[in-house]
Structure 1
Amino acid sequence: MSEPSSPAVAPPQPKAEAAPAKRARNSIKTKAAILVAGRAEFAERGFEGARVDAIAALAGANKRLLYHYFGNKEDLYRAVLLDAYQEIRRGERALSLDQYGPVDAMDRLVRFTFRHFLANPWFPRLLGTENIENARFLKTLPDIQGLHSPLVGQIRTIVERGAEIGIFRRDVDPVQLYISIAALGFFYVSNMATLSVIFARDLAGIDMVQEREAQAVQMVLDYLRTKPA
């Protein structure tokens, strides 16, 4: 007499969420690639000269997906602009400046700002494009002022901490101070080619870059330090 056969075991079924999860990962990757490609195209050609076809090709994405994720050229430009500001703000938050003394904190902020412009030359060009547009797209971004408020508050706190221990002056406008910090890096990077020709020096050379960074730090700290009576 034969033994009863075991009941057939159904093969494992793939998880239902596997495909959607993969699509979500692909979506995030594609959108990130489009933003990076948009940075390059808008920075190189400006808003008017940039072409959606070129951005899609550079991103390795289907143009229909670009429109699906970002709407149109104007909306893509807004997304690129917002992403650019969010990136530098994330970098500033990652500095964790509150854990450092006032001098070290300001030193780190100045160096980070300078290096961010230096490492991302597309950023000054993109900002130049938006200034040519008279900030008309930036004005439509509802989050932009809120994005910058924590930075202003952080600079104010650093200055106040320095003033409390008698090493920084108190009459400092944090907005004006940040504009000065940004200008020290922005001007150097955005005008590197012309200044190199005018002064017959390679401003992209490591020695010149290090000298400029150190001078930027020194200028900011000299401004902030209290003056002897």
Structure 2
Amino acid sequence: MNVPVSSSRSKARDGATRIQDPEGTRQNIIEVAAQEFALNGLSGARIDEIAAKTRSSKRMIYYYFGNKEGLYLSALENAYRQVRDGEAKLDIAGLPPIEALQRLVEFTFDHHHQHEEFIRMVMIENIHHAEFLARSDVIADLNVTAIGNIEAIYAKGLAEGVFRPGLEPLEIHWQISALCFFNVANRATFSKIFGKDVGSPAFQESLRRQTVEMVLRFVVLAEKLTGP
């Protein structure tokens, strides 16, 4: 069967693009794979489906990632990298500690709200008892910075006499994560059970304010708080 010249040229151009931009192709695969894993889990995601939705082929996916588990781990690492890169861009080191903590909580709430695939992949990884996360030095290194940021903010707040003593930075991180994570992980069930769309813009804005307030009331000395 003769292949139309235009079709042959199109395929050639696509192949040339992949060769010229291997990192772009690899990132495209990871981003599409994250959506598939978040939707279908590790066992339910299909390499054929991921290949069909990317600028790649099944063979290329195996070339870059080895197998489906390798692709899943790369997608998981990328999801954690995105949230840590976002934190790094906040540039809060020069802010007063209360404002820095507020900005960090707001960012975490917004990032989780805007990246539901990250929450779902973390849920999936918990189903697997963090088996794949344990294989990754990348994720371990990334999350050192997460605690490091809170340690720096908390130490500054203690030095300035505005934070309560005796708290652990890891526990502060836990509380922030818990509030922001639950907002995405349980949104559908809460909405259905209680007959209210907790994902609506108005409800989300209210939850965002409350999340910030709860964390600040936990960490900041009562006499140093302003507002309600």
Same fold (TM over 0.5): yes
Cα distance in structure 2, aligned partners of 1:117 and 1:194: 17
Matches within 5 A, 1:89-100: 89-100=84-95
Cα distance in structure 2, aligned partners of 1:86 and 1:110: 18
2:111 matched to 1:116?
Answer: yes
For residues 199-225 of structure 1, give each alpha carbon's deviation from its aligned partner in whole angstroms, at most 9, with x where no partner exists. Answer: 221111111000000000000000012
Question: Does the residue aligned with 2:198 lie in a helix, a strand or coil?
Answer: coil
Listed as ranges, the gaps of 5+ residues in structure 1 are 1-20
Cα distance in structure 1, aligned partners of 2:67 and 2:155: 45
Cα distance in structure 2, aligned partners of 1:187 and 1:101: 28
Question: Could you state the TM-score of these two structures normalised by the residue count of structure 1?
Answer: 0.87
For residues 160-192 of structure 1, give each alpha carbon's deviation from its aligned partner in whole angstroms, at most 9, with x where no partner exists. Answer: 111112110121111111111011111011111
Larger Rg: 1
- Name the structure 1 match of 2:205: 210
2:9 matched to 1:48?
Answer: no
- The answer (yes or no) to whether the contact 1:36–1:59 under 8 Å persists in 2 is no
- The answer (yes or no) to whether the contact 1:102–1:162 under 8 Å persists in 2 is yes
Matches within 5 A, 1:94-173: 94-173=89-168
- Name the structure 2 match of 1:82: 77
- Name the structure 1 match of 2:11: none
Listed as ranges, the gaps of 5+ residues in structure 2 are 1-15, 224-228
For residues 54-97 of structure 1, give each alpha carbon's deviation from its aligned partner in whole angstroms, at most 9, with x where no partner exists. Answer: 11111142111111111111111110011111110000000011
For residues 18-57 of structure 1, give each alpha carbon's deviation from its aligned partner in whole angstroms, at most 9, with x where no partner exists. Answer: xxx9766421221111001110111111111111111111
Cα distance in structure 1, aligned partners of 2:19 and 2:84: 26
- Could you tell me which amino acid in structure 1 is paired with residue 60 of structure 2? L
- The answer (yes or no) to whether the contact 1:35–1:79 under 8 Å persists in 2 is yes
Pairs aligned (count): 208
**Greater CA deviation, 181-190 or 219-228?**
219-228
Question: Could you state the TM-score of these two structures normalised by the residue count of structure 2?
Answer: 0.87
- Could you tell me which amino acid in structure 1 is paired with residue 211 of structure 2? A
- Could you tell me which amino acid in structure 1 is paired with residue 29 of structure 2? I
CA RMSD for the aligned pairs? 1.5
- The answer (yes or no) to whether the contact 1:159–1:170 under 8 Å persists in 2 is no
